[in-house]
Structure 1
Amino acid sequence: MRIGIVFGTRPEIIKVAPVYLKAKEMEKEEGIEADFICTGQHREMVDMMKGIFNVEADIDMNIMTANQTLNEVMYKVVRGFEELLKERHYDWIFVQGDTTTAMAAALAAFNRGVKIGHIEAGLRSGDLYDPFPEEMNRRVIDQVSEKMFAPTQRSKETLLREGFNEERIVVTGNTVIDAQVYVVSHFNLDDVRRKIIWHENYFLVTLHRRENIGQRMRNILRALRRFSDKEGIQIVFPVHKNPKVRELVYEELSGCENAHLIEPVNYVELTALLKDAKFVATDSGGIQEEAPTFGKFVVVCRETTERPELIESGFGLLAGTDEEKVFQALYKALEFRAGGLKNPFGDGHASERILNAILG
Structure 2
Amino acid sequence: MKRIVVLTATRAEYGLLKPLMEKLKADPYYDTRIAVTGMHLSPEFGMTIREIESDNVPIDKKIEIVLSSDTPVALSKSMGLALISFSEYFEECRPDALMVLGDRYETLAVCCAATNARIPIFHLHGGETTEGAIDEAIRHSITKMSYLHFTSTEGYRKRVIQMGEAPDRVFNVGAMGVENALNTPCMSVAELEESIGFALGERYAVGTFHPVTLETATAGKQAEELLAALDRYGEIRYLFTGANADTEGRSINRKLKEYAQCHDNLCLVDSLGMRRYLSALKNSLFVIGNSSSGLVEAPSFKIPTINIGDRQRGRIAGETVISCQPERHAIGEAVQKAMDASFREGIKRSENPYGDGHTSEKILEVVKDFFVKERINIKKKFYDIHFEI
Task: With the length of structure 2 as denominator, give the TM-score of the two structures.
Answer: 0.82
Q: 1:343 aligns with which of 318, 340, 352?
A: 352
CA distance in 2 between counterparts of 1:52 and 1:3 reads 22
User: What is residue 52 of structure 2 aligned with on the other side?
Assistant: 50
Which residue identity lines up with residue 20 of structure 2 in the other structure?
V
Letter in 1 for 2:191: V
Give the one of 118, 123, 129 matched to 1:124.
Answer: 129
- Residue from 64, 68, 75 that aligns with 1:70: 75
Alpha-carbon separation, structure 1, partners of 2:56 and 2:199: 26
Q: 2:292 and 2:313 mapped to 1: Cα distance?
A: 8
| Alpha-carbon distance in structure 2 between the residues aligned to 1:180 and 1:295 | 11
1:223 and 2:221 equivalent?
no
Question: Which residue is 1:359 aligned to?
Answer: 368
Q: Please give the residue correspondences for 1:109-148 in structure 2 after superposition, counting only pairs within 5 Å.
A: 109-125=114-130, 127=131, 130-131=132-133, 133-148=134-149
In structure 1, give the amino acid aligned to 2:59.
A
1:157-190 deviation line (CA, Å, top 9, x unaligned): 2223334321221111111233334531xx5344
Equivalent position SS for 2:59: coil
- Structure 1 stretch 135-144 or stretch 83-92: which is displaced more? 83-92
Aligned-residue offset at 1:266: 2.7
Residue aligned with 2:184, SS: helix
The aligned counterpart of 1:295 is 302
Deviation at 1:244, TM superposition (A): 1.5
Match of 1:76, SS? helix
- Choose which of 91, 103, 118 in structure 2 pairs with 1:86: 91
SS in 2 for 1:93: strand
1:38 counterpart residue number: 36
User: How far 1:341 moved relative to its partner?
Assistant: 1.2
Alignment partners' CA distance in 2, 1:91 and 1:190: 43
- For 2:58 and 2:209, how far apart are their aligned partners in 1? 28
8 Å Cα contact 1:3-1:91 kept in structure 2: yes
Q: 1:319 aligns with which of 320, 324, 329?
A: 324
Change (3 A) 1:238 1:10: closer
Per the alignment, do residues 263 and 78 of structure 1 end up closer, same or farther by CA in structure 2, a change over 3 Å counting? closer
TM (norm. structure 1) is 0.88
Structure 1 residues 52 and 135, CA, compared in 2 at 3 Å: closer, same or farther?
Answer: farther
Tell me the distance in 2 between the aligned counterparts of 1:358 and 1:138: 21
**Secondary structure in structure 1 of the residue aligned to 2:351:** coil
Which residue of 2 is the match for residue 193 of structure 1?
192
Matched, 1:15 2:12: no
Letter in 1 for 2:286: F
CA contact (8 A) 2:13 2:101 kept: yes
In structure 1, C-alpha distance between the alignment counterparts of 2:327 and 2:162, rounded to whole Å: 32
- Pairwise mapping of residues 242-257 of structure 1 onto structure 2 (< 5 A)? 243-251=250-258, 255-256=262-263
In structure 2, the residue corresponding to 1:33 is in which secondary structure? strand
Distance (whole Å) between structure 2 residues aligned to residue 279 and residue 322 of structure 1: 18
> In 2, Cα distance between the equivalents of 1:183 and 1:292?
15
Which residue of structure 2 lines up, in the alignment, with residue 272 of structure 1? 279
| Cα shift at 1:247 | 2.4
Deviation larger for 95-104 or 213-222: 213-222
Q: CA deviation at 1:65?
A: 3.7
Give a deviation string over 1:249-268, Cα, whole Å, max 9, x none.
24556544543445543332
**Does the residue aligned with 2:325 lie in a helix, a strand or coil?**
coil
The 1:239/1:225 distance shift into structure 2, 3 A limit, reads farther
Post-superposition offset of 1:239: 4.2
**By how many angstroms is 1:134 displaced?**
1.4
Q: Structure 1 residue 52: deviation in Å?
A: 5.6
Q: Distance in 2 between matches of 1:37 and 1:306?
A: 31
Matched with 1:214 is 220
Question: CA offset at residue 79 of structure 1?
Answer: 0.9
For 1:124, give the aligned amino acid: T
Task: State how far apart, in whole Å, the 1-side matches of 2:156 and 2:47 are.
Answer: 28
- Tell me how many residue pairs correspond in the alignment: 346
Q: Report SS of the residue matched to 2:349.
A: coil
Pairwise CA distance, 1:191:
3.9
Query: Is residue 288–residue 307 contact of structure 1 (8 Å, CA) maintained in 2?
Result: no
Distance 2:288 2:123 in 1: 28
2-structure distance, mates of 1:163, 1:287: 30
**SS of equivalent to 2:316:** helix
Contact persistence 2:211–2:243 (CA under 8 A): no
Cα distance in 1 for residues equivalent to 2:190 and 2:355: 27
Which aligned runs of 4 or more in structure 1 are off by greater than 4 angstroms? 239-242, 250-254
Cα distance 1:89–1:255, how it changes in 2: closer, same or farther (>3 A)?
closer
The one-letter code sitting in structure 1 at the alignment partner of 2:323 is L
Distance in 2 (CA, whole Å) between partners of 1:85 and 1:169 is: 25
Gaps of 5+ in 2: 370-389
1:164 maps onto 2:171 in alignment: no
State, as a whole percentage, how many aligned pairs show the same letter.
23
